[in-house]
Structure 1
Amino acid sequence: MQEALEDNRGENLLFNNYFISMMERIFDPIPICIIVVDKDTRVKMINKAFADYLGFPKHRIIGEKVLDIDKNSRWPYVFQKKQAEIAWKHTFENGHTAIVHRIPVLDEHGDILYGFGMVLFEDVEQFREIVEKNRLLETTLDYYRKELQRIKGAKYSFNCIIGNSTKMKEAKGLAQKAAATDSNVLLLGESGTGKELFAHAIHNAGGRRFYPFIKVNCAAIPSELLESELFGYEEGAFTGAKKGGKAGKFLLANKGTIFLDEIGDMPEKMQAKLLRVLQEKEIEPVGSTETKNIDVRLITATNKNLEELVEKGQFREDLYYRLNVLTIKIPPLRERTEDIDHLCEVLIKKISERVGKYVTKISKNALDIIKSYKWPGNVRQLENVLERAIILSNSCMIDCDDLPDYIKLKDKRTYNGPIKPMKDIIEEVEKEAIIKALEYTKGNKFTASKLLGISRSSLYEKMNRYGISIQKHLVSPS
């Protein structure tokens, strides 16, 4: 052993005959170009694939410095910097351009031991082809991922929620925090404020986004069918049950999210069953004696005051506290009028594309009327009003005449304080009195003016001022 060490003094022990022979046996059959060089950049091992690629016999290359074989070699630079070059584009002296790795191997002191190199792609075109195939695969995978989300998941994200008002920012911020957890979420808000939109967004931003998003409207399903709808049923569970039974919404939502809308309308019997599901994480289909484990994230919504329902005994207190882990209050449109401009802009574009009519904007006067209205139906009502206006519009812009009368009437009634101006009250009473008189007389303006105690000309003038039309107010002209 001592003699062997003496014989190899000044030479890296890694490159004794046994080591080189072993490396050749390992790497020669491999059809990938591989090379090993010592710290002086002399070739100590090269497999047949690489020798053939360079156009030299192996015995001609072994022992030579790499610059004598390929004057473009970067091994001296790699050893100088002691940094690997990964997937480096290199043009050899014979004209071949390839993608290569050059990796310096260091000892514990940071000194060069040897260098390992390989050709990753023997020509750049091969590399480009692989990249294109990979890009196509990524695109295809992304497409099917999106299709899976479209079929089984939620449609909307936080980008779909329009509004920069303080209250809307607070609601969105809380919802984004909720999305990062699996905790139950309770969405509170009037009809048309966008509770379902928030539910979609929370699911899409969370860790369950690639799993199902199942919606159930508790108020739309008869109480006697709600249990089988939520938990499913076994074959023969009741008259008319499907052969083979049916999976319930909770099972369909497994690993994903179930959204129970109008939870305040859930019957008390079902409230007890839902509480058990939340506690035990299992369901029992109708007609079955076995339970099934589920892993579901629950989002609920209501436009009712659950605390009041609890006090009245109409909603279980224990269920309320189970649901009320994260409560998000979605503001009504009248409390965020600063969002109306942007809402109208987005909705007009969306509706115009849907109905196929080119309308791009809204006049300032029409927008002022919209902003002064109280919107009891919130964004849903606003969207309906804008759709009607787009259909009726004779130009590319919505104007006051395109808005429904009740919106314009409300505009005249608006006031800033708790007391209406006397002028508004008088106009309101006058209009209602005229309409009732015309309905009573079936549109006979002469008789109506007599009943009201005003001249016929005054009646005509007030009808014009208030926009009263015989046809519009459902009376027959005489």
Structure 2
Amino acid sequence: MVLNELQASGETMVSMLNRIFDPIPVPIILVGKDTRVIMINQVFADFLGHPKSEIIGEEVQKVDKYSRFPYVFKNKKSEIAWKHKFENGHTAIVHRIPILDDQGEVLYGFGMVLFQNVEEFKDIIQKNKLLESELSLYKNQLKEMQGAKYSWDNIIGESERMVQAKYMARRAAQSNSNVLLLGKSGTGKELFAHAIHSGSNRNHNPFVKVNCAAIPAELLESELFGYEEGAFTGAKKGGKIGKFELSNGGSIFLDEIGDMPIKMQAKLLRILQEKEVERVGSNKTTKIDIRVIAATNQDLKELVQKGEFREDLYYRLNVMSIEIPSLQERDNDVEGLSYSLLRKLSSQMGKYVSKISVNAMEYIRGHNWPGNVRELENVLERAINLTESDSILPVHLPVYITQNTKKVAKGPIRTLKDVIEDTEKEAIARCLEYTEGNKLKTAKLLNISRSSLYDKIEKYGLE
């Protein structure tokens, strides 16, 4: 009714929207599917520091280069209460909501600034600190009790070794047998543990994680088995339930099992054999139903020979043994894994980066990745922080990667002229990519004349 009256009065859509939204004291913006600004109220224009006339009709990323509306349009998912740093230096809490038609296609994007600075947001949080603390406590308890965060979809890789590992893990998930995950640090053993629990008939029951190397030896017993009231000095009133009891009906993931003290290994063996746990300071046993998923980057057979790991426990754990390949052994997975991590990191960091240049990918594929997937993830996170566009270029990669590639197979000796030309071609190609095709800037960076650069571009087919 109001809309019909406004239209009947002869107002344009823009002026009508301005009359509706300008009096609202909350920054609001409406963006078209082409990412151009259709409407922005005066409060938001003042916040950005530009006249409305310069904003209306512009692409949203020209108004604020850090805008995530293109990312929201691509994913068709709202971003609610996101922390966002604007180009003018202000950090605020914002909503970004895609408006879809009946076919699920994007029509508009609606944006709103909830808090115009983070300090304002912090004040609100401070006033509700008690409620936030209690909520955080309940969330942590629920997270610990509830289950795994990852599934098979999160395990990326189609190389032969990875396909074999996933096949074994899927088979293990369908059983109640103990699982031993073997592999170097950073290969994704915890990811497999989550997926095995998620894919099992225990997935509605707890998934409890324990890092055996991170808990001091003197505390590990009470953490794993719990204790009774008065069991030792400083024991909580009423005692404490242990990790094994918490995981009853579900799975317990014992990471870095090779670092578990011998004394704890004996108790763990009893739990696996008898399916019962005894709290510290108690003479009563409690029956439990658990499946143990253990992981290590050590050679357990070697530890057994050294007397540092119980042989009987090793065979009890080693029912379903799965070896997770290193990234060096799954060369064909590097590109797909890189883009999967790029999407994940881009979303987490609030920065829209979706591309890796051909040259940058060559360097990534050429690296040996001794730190495996964890190292690759760290390198990509660094690159996202450095890039100012939606692409990762060689210049954004660490020097140790761009200067150290895999050895080339032996072959015929090449002439010095050929080697020099190849080097020159690569240098020009990389510089053109860095300058986004700006030949004047490229010539200056390479310290050659523009005419010489044009000749070389034509010679090497780089146009």
Structure 2 residue 292 is the aligned partner of structure 1 residue 298? yes
Structure 2 residue 196 is the aligned partner of structure 1 residue 202? yes
The offset of 1:414, in angstroms, is: 3.5
State the alpha-carbon separation in 2 of the partners of residues 320 and 163 from structure 1. Answer: 29
Q: Which structure 2 residues correspond to residues 37-76 of structure 1 after superposition, within 5 A?
A: none
Q: What residue identity is the alignment partner of 2:325? A: P
State the alpha-carbon separation in 2 of the partners of residues 177 and 385 from structure 1. Answer: 33
Aligned to 1:377: 371
Match of 1:267 among 245, 253, 261: 261
Aligned to 1:389: 383
The offset of 1:405, in angstroms, is: 1.1
Q: What residue identity is the alignment partner of 1:299? A: I
Number of corresponding residues: 273
Aligned to 2:102: none
Match of 2:179 among 177, 185, 198: 185
State the alpha-carbon separation in 1 of the partners of residues 277 and 293 from structure 2. Answer: 17
State the alpha-carbon separation in 2 of the partners of residues 240 and 150 from structure 1. Answer: 24
Structure 2 residue 394 is the aligned partner of structure 1 residue 400? yes
Instruction: Tell me the TM-score normalised to structure 2 length.
Output: 0.57
State the alpha-carbon separation in 2 of the partners of residues 176 and 170 from structure 1. Answer: 10
Q: Is the 8 A contact 1:148 1:210 kept in 2?
A: no
The offset of 1:409, in angstroms, is: 2.5
Aligned to 1:472: none
Aligned to 2:167: 173
Q: What residue identity is the alignment partner of 1:378? A: N
Structure 2 residue 249 is the aligned partner of structure 1 residue 251? no
Q: Is the 8 A contact 2:145 2:208 kept in 1?
A: no
Q: What residue identity is the alignment partner of 2:290? A: V
Aligned to 2:230: 236
Instruction: Tell me the TM-score normalised to structure 1 length.
Output: 0.55
State the alpha-carbon separation in 1 of the partners of residues 298 and 267 from structure 2. Answer: 21
The offset of 1:323, in angstroms, is: 0.3
Q: Which structure 2 residues correspond to residues 273-292 of structure 1 after superposition, within 5 A?
A: 273-292=267-286
Aligned to 1:161: 155
> For 1:309, what is the secondary structure of its paired residue?
helix
Q: Is the 8 A contact 1:149 1:211 kept in 2?
A: no
Q: Which structure 2 residues correspond to residues 217-236 of structure 1 after superposition, within 5 A?
A: 217-236=211-230
State the alpha-carbon separation in 2 of the partners of residues 275 and 168 from structure 1. Answer: 31
Unaligned runs of 5+ in 2: 1-140, 411-415, 417-445, 447-463
The offset of 1:416, in angstroms, is: 4.7
State the alpha-carbon separation in 1 of the partners of residues 237 and 408 from structure 2. Answer: 62
The offset of 1:358, in angstroms, is: 1.4
How many percent identity over aligned positions?
Answer: 63
State the alpha-carbon separation in 2 of the partners of residues 352 and 279 from structure 1. Answer: 46
Q: What residue identity is the alignment partner of 2:210? A: V
Aligned to 1:360: 354
Q: What residue identity is the alignment partner of 1:202? A: I
Q: Is the 8 A contact 1:213 1:258 kept in 2?
A: yes
Structure 2 residue 324 is the aligned partner of structure 1 residue 325? no
State the alpha-carbon separation in 2 of the partners of residues 150 and 340 from structure 1. Answer: 32
The offset of 1:406, in angstroms, is: 1.5
Aligned to 2:413: none
State the alpha-carbon separation in 2 of the partners of residues 367 and 383 from structure 1. Answer: 14
CA RMSD of aligned residues (A): 2.0
Q: What residue identity is the alignment partner of 2:330? A: R
Q: Which structure 2 residues correspond to residues 299-318 of structure 1 after superposition, within 5 A?
A: 299-318=293-312
Q: What residue identity is the alignment partner of 1:278? A: L
Q: Which structure 2 residues correspond to residues 25-36 of structure 1 after superposition, within 5 A?
A: none
The offset of 1:415, in angstroms, is: 4.5
1:154-187 deviations in Å (ceiling 9; x for gaps): 0111111000111000000000000000000000
The offset of 1:149, in angstroms, is: 8.1
Q: Which runs of 4+ in 1 moved over 4 A?
A: 147-151
Q: Which structure 2 residues correspond to residues 337-348 of structure 1 after superposition, within 5 A?
A: 337-348=331-342
